[in-house]
Chains A and B, each alone.
Chain A
Amino acid sequence: MSRRLESASGMQALMADSFRECDAAARDPAGRVAWCSSVGPVELLRALGFAVFFPENHAAMLGASRLATDLIPTATAEGYSPDVCSYMTSDIGAWRRGVTALSRVDPSIARVPRPDVLVYDTNQCRDVLDWFSFYGRQYGVPVIGVAAPRGVGVVTGELVAAVAAQIRALVPPLEAIAGRRMDPDVLARVVAVSRDTSVLWRKVLSCGEARPSPLTFFDGCVHMGPAVVLRGDERAKAYYEGLLAELEGRVAAGEAAVDGERVRLYWEGMPIWGRLRQVSELLAGLRASVVGSTYCSSWVFDGLDPDAPFDSMARAAVELFISRSDAVKEGILAAEARRYGVHGIVFHDAKTCPNNSNCRYGMPGRLLRGAGVPSVVLHSDLNDLRLHADEGVRLALEAFVEQCAEAS
């Protein structure tokens, strides 16, 4: 793994606190728990006092702890195809088997926190709705959310207004479940914290532009936890202030995340959670640093505006990389490759997540011909290690680093 960041231990404590808070809220008869998709309208939920739990974060923890692969067959036996989102199938399998990754963080947490409502945004995919609907049926609680446009080219005022109207429409049912009215000032404050956190997170990620880079994509996958789980919470903001200071210190000192950085890469697509460490170590051994990614940047919502919470939340949801057209994504990737000064892009073609696998419609070839950016495609998966071959991934990465080193 690349050199460990000092802030890591503070981050783990922060994440553990947030899980304990969700657990406590679920046990407290007066507490209210909302489950939210990772790029869903979390600000509404925080402003209404919900403890917010993120199934995607939980599923990523199942993947990272390599529990996921054994859990997926339980969901498959229930009729969920092994070809659909392995976050969903591992999470459902875990639930059926009474297993939670939260117990690994705090053994006193025996189960995921019982939800009072599940809130989704399909800007990322339809699977998230199917996933949440499973829990809606099991717990007998409402599943509400936003049916967002996908494959968005130009972000028009009409699109934003349509999504903003859907977000607004969530308020009355959420108020009814929360048992309180939405205070516009509280919402504005939460949105402001979300925006500030987001700006800090963007600055953290932009440190990867430095040569050598003080952080890698793999660090980002770990340190993005608070940007997802604690978006809109002051503690996340404070955490990223500390992390940013640490990284800026590294940049000033010329300290590299990967010793002797000689090849710079950009990661496109989902992490391979069960092999995060191995892939990180492999690349570090080759003196290749993955300095940027679309994945970690998915939680940058700079445009959030406390004076226009609904419109700006809608705009953030529509502008998201994952919900854009391939033409827009291509432009973003070419610009990102330039911004980070990378030798090439590593595309992860995740078998069970076509929604966040962007190499399936000719993108690598177009980027090579149009922007001169070479790439390699890894065939693997986010959580299902039955779809992963260590040797194939190793060979592809080693050969690509050799190619990049030759070209430089």
Chain B
Amino acid sequence: MGGPFFSGIDVGSSYAKAVLLDASGAVAAEAVRKTGVDFAAVAEALRVDLLEAAPQARGQVARTLATGYGRGNVTFADEAVTEITCQAAACWHLFRRALTAIDVGGQDTKVITLDGEGRRTSFLMNRRCASGTGAFLEEMAARLDTTPEGLETLAAAGREAVPLSSFCTVFARGELLSLIRAGRAVQDIALGVYEAVVRRIVEMARLQGDVVLTGGAAIPGGVLVRRFEAAVGHPVLVPPHPQTTGALGAALLAMRAREGQR
């Protein structure tokens, strides 16, 4: 299907994501880049990525909506909306039911509750620290001398999660040191790191309805998702592209705004 097209640009703290929708609402292109230090430049690069992937959209993008930490820096956007509203819009679009959407972001984790009509009833963000966020995983990966992807691989091979008790990332690094010194298997420590993230998130709010997990760490079938399911005692929903859900929501809202439905 052709134009007009609608784009959503989500400039997050670690990664910037973009989604292009065609006039039917189908995804025409997606792109992801490291955010880096120049928000405007990464947004522009994403725009180019989208048009390279979907050249039929050139000159046909009717509206762009920006979201994420760098939403104010997307110079070509028509509007900026918070990622909380965008996540809510995308999760409702994808699942159409009362749900709790949990977005595990690089900098913070958000818990958003939608009722059966798609109305947002509440949202929460983790407190002042990194516990329960992607930043915690990155920090711990570095301490275990690996990458976030490497941490996932290690944890997948873990048998028994080593409990990490501290709220604080700095204290948790200290705990990691003692565990390494005590000779615990690094795979089990890695699994413990995921377990710690899950525990922090689960205690943020009473989870209502179905649970949707989004964010770069929510790899379908991955460690975070599996540990989460074990913690809540039932399967959780994961969008097909969990990292770009915010950008999808932004593109959907751009489309809705154009149609005058908002």
Contacts and interface: CB of A to CB of B under 8 A. Distances in A.
A162 interface: no
B127 A379 contact: yes
Interface string B122-152: 1111011000000000000000000000000
Given A387-B128, A389-B128, A398 B119 contact: no
Interface stretch (B77-85, B190-198, B225-233): B77-85
B84 A379 contact: no
Nearest to A380: B128
Contacts of B122: 364-365, 368, 374-375
A379 B128 contact: yes
Nearest to A394: B82
A173 B73 CA distance: 63
A309 B85 CA distance: 53
A399 B82 contact: yes
A362 to B, nearest CB: 10
Interface in B62-87: 69, 81-85
Contacts of A351: 128
B108 interface: yes
A284 B43 CA distance: 28
Contacts of B124: 377
Given A387-B128, A389-B128, A392-B108, A399 B123 contact: yes
Interface stretch (A97-105, A123-131, A188-196, A400-408): A400-408
B119 to A, nearest CB: 6
Contacts of A389: 128
B125 A365 contact: no
B69 A376 contact: no
Contacts of A368: 121-122
A351 B127 CA distance: 11
A395 B87 CA distance: 13
A387 B120 CA distance: 28
B119 A395 contact: no
B181 interface: no
Contacts of A365: 122, 206
Interface string A183-223: 00000000000000000000000000000000000000000
A158 interface: no
A387 B129 CA distance: 10
B67 to A, nearest CB: 10
Interface in A350-375: 351, 364-365, 368, 374-375
B119 A407 contact: yes
Contacts of A377: 124
A28 interface: no
Count chain B CB atoms within 10 A of each CB in A351, A392, A399 and give the residue with the most.
Answer: A399
B77 to A, nearest CB: 15
B108 A402 contact: no
A121 to B, nearest CB: 31
Contacts of B125: 392, 395-396
B248 to A, nearest CB: 17
A375 B84 CA distance: 15
A272 B247 CA distance: 32
Contacts of A374: 121-122
A282 B7 CA distance: 26
Given A379-B128, A389-B128, A395-B82, A403 B108 contact: no
A118 B84 CA distance: 48
Contacts of A407: 119-120
Contact of A391 (B69, B84, B120): B69
23 contacts: A351-B128, A364-B122, A365-B122, A365-B206, A368-B122, A374-B122, A377-B124, A387-B128, A391-B69, A392-B108, A392-B125, A396-B125, A398-B82, A399-B82, A399-B84, A399-B85, A400-B123, A402-B81, A403-B84, A403-B85, A403-B123, A407-B119, A407-B120
> Which 10 interchain pairs have the tightest Cβ spacing?
A399-B84, A399-B82, A402-B85, A403-B120, A398-B82, A379-B127, A379-B128, A395-B82, A402-B82, A399-B123
Given A375-B122, A402-B81, 6 more contacts: A365-B206, A368-B121, A368-B122, A376-B123, A389-B128, A402-B84
